Each structure stands twice: as structure tokens, then as C-alpha cells.
Structure 1
Amino acid sequence: MDVDRFRELIRKVTEEIDGLPLESSLASRLNQQHGAGSELYQQIFDACKIGVRDGWLCNRQADGIRYGRVLKATEATHNFSVDVVEMEDIAGPHHAHPNGEIDLIMPLTEGASFDGHPAGWCVYGPGSAHRPTVTKGRALVLYLLPQGAIHFTAAAA
């Protein structure tokens, strides 16, 4: 596994969702077609674990969170950027999603959750904001950001 092969895996998802509105129905669709236990979910999860191990994913660290943008928003990924974070029982920095955010939650500890969501997909619509939080253990979270748009904000309650 390398960045080019990883891009092709991600492209399978971004090709399917290109142009679809970022709303709860998209999360339902992704979980039905590519949710935890599916072949594509497992391929992406395995690729992420390899990428972390080999140092091309989550190659930065701050405040107890490993992170990194592995793919910029380009035509190859239908203008979605791809970031992957590794978090354990921690809340990350507050940020807003001008164009929305699609997350793939991959627990490394059984039962770990991201913003209260178990293994699988969750979707935040355009204009949403949150303080990403992993509880009940450690997890990898893959973020798809339309046009790579993210805005880090002052800490919010």
C-alpha cells in the first residue's frame, strides 16, 4: 500500500458521492453500502493502519493527536481532500466545515466512538462545526472535505 493505491481506494467512494448533498441520507447510504464490515470499509481501514505504520499517514502530532492531510482536493478525488487522524479519549480543536465533512470512523479499540458515532460513516452538512471527540478508546478517523475546506476556530463550548 502506498499513497497512489490509497488514492484509488478513496476514489471509489468519492466517485459515488460526487455531487450529492452532504446530509444524513448520505451517511445512511454510505453505511448501507460501505459500512463497518463491508469489503471497502475493511480495505480503507487496513490501508490506513499500513499508512500510519509506514509513516505516510498521521505523520504530524500535536496535543496528543496524530494527524495529516494525505491527499489534497483534486480532480482525482472529485475535489475532496483526505485527512486522517488518530485520537484516543480526547477532544480535538474546534473547527467549522464551510462545505461539510464526511467522516469514516475506524475504532482501534473495540467500542471506541467519534462524536458518539460507532464504526462507520457520519456526515456533517455545510456550515456545521464541532470539536471532534473520540471516547471509549482509540480510533482512526478519515475526513473527506469538499474542496479541502476547513476553518479552525476559537474554542467553543
Structure 2
Amino acid sequence: MRAVIVAMAVAIVLGASPATAAADPGASPLDLADPSVGGLDPALRTAVQNAATAAASEGVTMTITSGWRSPQFQQQLLDDAVVTYGSLAAARRYVQTPEMSKHVIGQAVDVGGTGADQWLDANGSRFGLCRIYANEIWHFELATDATGVCPPLLPDAAS
């Protein structure tokens, strides 16, 4: 139990969700006490909360697997990706630098829950939410234009 508490405390300091540290599939979009939710830009947070409510009415549970991240946590994710993918160039396809990450400024969210990413991909523009990268079905940002249309997908985070 002590190890779980320590992991959660470290996660909070680094900007990760304590739910993620405890191997939970994600935080409720309504859980403002979770830094990954509470640290989101208010407009994005409201859009995700509204989308999650609409999804729930259709039987789809949406969670936030990653929202706001500290620069230190973002750097750790990038460092881990370099090890996983073998180079900075390969890692950058999946993980932005802290200086470029929309997560660090609270303007990006990764969603979880069975079917939530597909639901949001099909319905997110109603809430201003758009999938940004072709290789990340879970990553969304407020990005619709004035007519409510999402921009074309970028191939990956390095684009």
C-alpha cells in the first residue's frame, strides 16, 4: 500500500494522474482534484465534460488517460520514447517536446474507455474537439474552425 501511495505522490509532482499511477484506466472528466483534469484549459475541460456526458447518454464511458502534464513529466515521456523507439526522431512521432506539447499548457487530452476514442472521433466536432494526429486516435484538442469543422489530420506529432 505504501508503494502505491508513493507512486501516486510522485505522479502528482510530475503531473501525471494519480489514477494512472495506480494503474487505473483514467480519470473522470469531472474530477477536478486530479491534476491531469484540473490543470486543463477551462474551455477544453468544459468541452470534454460535455462530450463525456453526451457519450454516456449513448452508453459510452469516456475517461481522461492523460490531460495536463508538467514539463518534467513530458520530458520523461519523451526520454522513455527515445529508449523505446531507438532515436529522438522516431520518438517524436508519438511524443512532443515539453516546449511543443499541448498537454503541458493544458490544451490537449488523451481519452480512454472502450469505444470512447471512436465516439469522440465521430462526434467531437460538435463540442469543438478534434483528433489531431492520424497515428493517435486517443489525442484530442479544441481545433474546429468557425464552421465547426476539424482540420485535416497530421500524420504524427513530429509533423
Give TM-score, length-normalised by structure 2: 0.30
The structure that is strand-richer by fraction is 1
Higher share of residues assigned helix: 2
Q: TM-score, normalised by structure 1?
A: 0.30
